[in-house]
Amino acid sequence: MRIPRDLSGDDLVRLLAAFGYVVTRQTDSHLRLTTATNGEHHVTIPRHRALRLGTLSGILSDVAMHLGMARDDLLARLFDHRP
């Protein structure tokens, strides 16, 4: 599955909430999200209109590794909204 090229930081925060991530702090234009699922994990997301593809890819890879799933499986659960 392809990564969307127009995803904003705020959109990603909303999507990651389904995996237990919540905003724990904000510094300037960056949000820090934390989850207690599978142990504590933190990820920093810039609040940009459109995240750069490499930035988004790195964040998603980090989240997938923490959750113990393949990156493609995470992409499917986040972005595949078909029934």
- Residue 73 is predicted with a pLDDT of 94
**60 is written with which tokens?**
């998603």
Residue 70 pLDDT > 90? yes
Residue 82 pLDDT > 80? no
CATH topology classification for 9-76: Metal Transport, Frataxin; Chain A (3.30.920)
For the stretch 12-53, pLDDT in tens is 999 999 999 999 999 999 999 999 988 999 999 999 999 999
What residue ranges do the domains of the chain occupy? 9-76
Rounded CA-CA distance 12/80 in Å is 14
**With bands split at pLDDT 50, 70 and 90, how would you rate the model's confidence at 1?**
confident
pTM of the complete model beyond 0.85: yes
- Residue 83 is predicted with a pLDDT of 45
Helix H or strand E encompassing 26: strand 22-27
Please name the residues in contact with 70: beta carbons below 8 A apart, sequence gap of 6 or more. Answer: 64
